């Protein structure tokens, strides 16, 4: 199991190094053609190793996670069943998804409101209302998660 975590960490470091090399290589236009020839396959290889290591952790790590719950129960620790763990994960999903949605909504609305305020400063209040409505999406998800946690 540790070799899989090491492989995933190595793939992540490789992805970061390849991205930095691509970013810094764009400044040096002369070397870019030579560098790009081997960096794109390297990036694809690193991404393939990273995704396959994630899938391997998912497949092979499930048994280790189940084994740890039985060890924790025999040691006298607080036992959390698989259903309870899935329920807690399910209660957190609305917050995560609504936060992503709010981030996607706030970006264009914020840019448009800055442009509108630049042209017409008296439209500040209206644009703040639109921005607040987009931020409210995340708060709604948080409220739903709190309600779900109270039901568990």
Domain termination site, one of 51, 74, 97: 74
> What pLDDT does residue 25 have?
63
pLDDT of 37 higher than 80 = no
Same domain, 41 and 98: no
> What pLDDT does residue 1 have?
60
Q: Report how far residue 143's alpha carbon sits from residue 148's, in angstroms, rounded to the nearest whole number.
A: 9
Q: What percent of the chain has pLDDT over 90?
A: 32
pLDDT of 137 higher than 80 = yes
**140: pLDDT confidence band, cut at 50, 70 and 90?**
very high
Q: What percent of the chain has pLDDT over 70?
A: 70
Domain enclosing residue 102, as ranges: 82-151
> What pLDDT does residue 45 have?
78
pLDDT of 9 higher than 80 = no
Alpha helices in 26-123 (DSSP H): 29-74, 82-119
pLDDT single digits (tens) 58-112? 777 666 656 555 555 555 556 778 888 888 888 888 899 999 999 999 999 999 9
Task: Judge if pTM exceeds 0.95.
Answer: no
Instruction: List Cβ neighbours of 36 (8 Å cut-off, separation of 6 or more).
Output: 22, 25
Q: What is the number of structural domains in the chain?
A: 2
Q: What is the CATH number of the domain that holds 92?
A: 1.20.20.10
> What pLDDT does residue 88 have?
87
Domain termination site, one of 74, 90, 107: 74
pLDDT of 36 higher than 60 = yes
- Return the axis-axis angle of helices 2-25 and 29-74, rounded to nearest 10°: 160
Give the helix/strand (H/E) hosting 7: helix 2-25
Same domain, 70 and 89: no
Same domain, 68 and 97: no
Average pLDDT, the chain: 78
Same domain, 39 and 58: yes
Q: Report how far residue 71's alpha carbon sits from residue 53's, in angstroms, rounded to the nearest whole number.
A: 26
């Amino acid at each position: 199991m540790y070799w899989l975590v090491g492989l995933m960490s190595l793939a992540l470091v490789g992805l970061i190094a390849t991205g930095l090399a691509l970013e810094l290589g764009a400044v040096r236009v002369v070397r870019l053609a030579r560098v790009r020839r081997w960096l794109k396959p390297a990036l694809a290889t690193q991404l393939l190793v990273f995704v396959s290591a994630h899938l391997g952790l998912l497949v092979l790590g499930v048994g280790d996670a189940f084994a740890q719950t039985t060890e924790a129960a025999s040691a006298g620790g607080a036992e959390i069943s698989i259903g309870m763990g899935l329920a807690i994960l399910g209660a957190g999903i609305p917050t995560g998804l609504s936060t992503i949605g709010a981030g996607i909504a706030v970006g264009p609305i914020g840019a448009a409101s800055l442009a509108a305020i630049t042209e017409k400063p008296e439209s500040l209040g209206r644009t703040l209302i639109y921005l607040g409505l987009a931020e409210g999406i995340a708060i709604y998800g948080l409220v739903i998660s709190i309600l779900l946690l109270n039901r568990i």
